[in-house]
Structure 1
């Protein structure tokens, strides 16, 4: 409890300081937790996110890209039931050796695959993996709809390489975007 005495007016004002020691006092700690110290401008409430996490606008570009890969992988799993069941799909930002590729003048890869590795007892020790590189794919596209198309085509090419078949057999919609 602190007291303030005003000598001229002759009254005493007291208030509670329940917050504990002040942060600038020696050995003191902040009196209020972070949530209570946040700004409350003009009595309108505490600041928070502009969009709620469940709304589509709140998702980052990388999360939207991962959704495109998941959608495309699900389509390919429906077309190749059982064959692509144990394939893992990954999204990476850039390939490991991107600097060397740029220096050599070669185009950056859009994806890669690695087949399943058999264990000693005949079971698969590691499952097959298909990796899609987000930045090289997005760099080739001018519009969001093109990203969806290119992601699907890159996945088709990687699945074709993994299964050692022609990409046109993997999905009849192959090469609709790039027109090779």
Structure 2
């Protein structure tokens, strides 16, 4: 018998990439309640840093090593964007709970950079979990 092991609505059929994107969006949703201006920010997930969304080499990789995320200010017809890099985050975590915590920390750090605030101001629980 051929076909999927589980129907699409069952969590078993969610890919790792989709599950990671869900973690990013969950963090975004938590922060939007406190910071409504985040509804005007695009949150993106890329596999790895290396090239910007425009195809040019990512200067952060050359300067600072491997980033977990970054802020791309508005311009060129785009809104402000926050990018989270999936593979570097996954490599640094052992399980889903650790991954969820690290994703949230990275999202908070990027939002803080975008808003010009300390991460603790963006989420008072930052660094405590």
Pairing 1:73–2:28 present: yes
Using the alignment, how far apart are the partners of 2:38 and 2:19 within structure 1? 23
Correspondence for 2:2 among 30, 47, 61: 47
Runs of 4+ in structure 1 displaced over 4 angstroms? none
5 Å-filtered alignment, 1:1-180, equals 46-81=1-36, 83-96=37-50, 107-117=65-75, 125-177=77-129
- TM-score, normalised relative to structure 1: 0.62
Going from structure 1 to structure 2, the CA distance change for 1:133 and 1:48 (only over 3 Å counts) comes to: same
CA shift at 1:176, angstroms? 2.9
Give yes or no for contact 2:69–2:83 (8 Å, CA) kept in 1.
yes
- Figure out how many residues of one structure are paired with residues of the other and give that number: 123
Q: Which has the larger radius of gyration?
A: 1
Report the more deviating stretch, 135-144 or 86-95: 135-144
CA shift at 1:68, angstroms? 0.4
Alignment RMSD: 2.4
Cross-structure match for 2:54: none
- TM-score, normalised relative to structure 2: 0.85
Using the alignment, how far apart are the partners of 2:118 and 2:46 within structure 1? 25
List alignment gaps of at least 5 residues for structure 1. Answer: 1-45, 120-124
CA shift at 1:79, angstroms? 1.1
Using the alignment, how far apart are the partners of 1:58 and 1:94 within structure 2? 23
Going from structure 1 to structure 2, the CA distance change for 1:150 and 1:91 (only over 3 Å counts) comes to: same
Q: In proportion to residue count, which structure has more strand?
A: 1
Q: In proportion to residue count, which structure has more helix?
A: 2
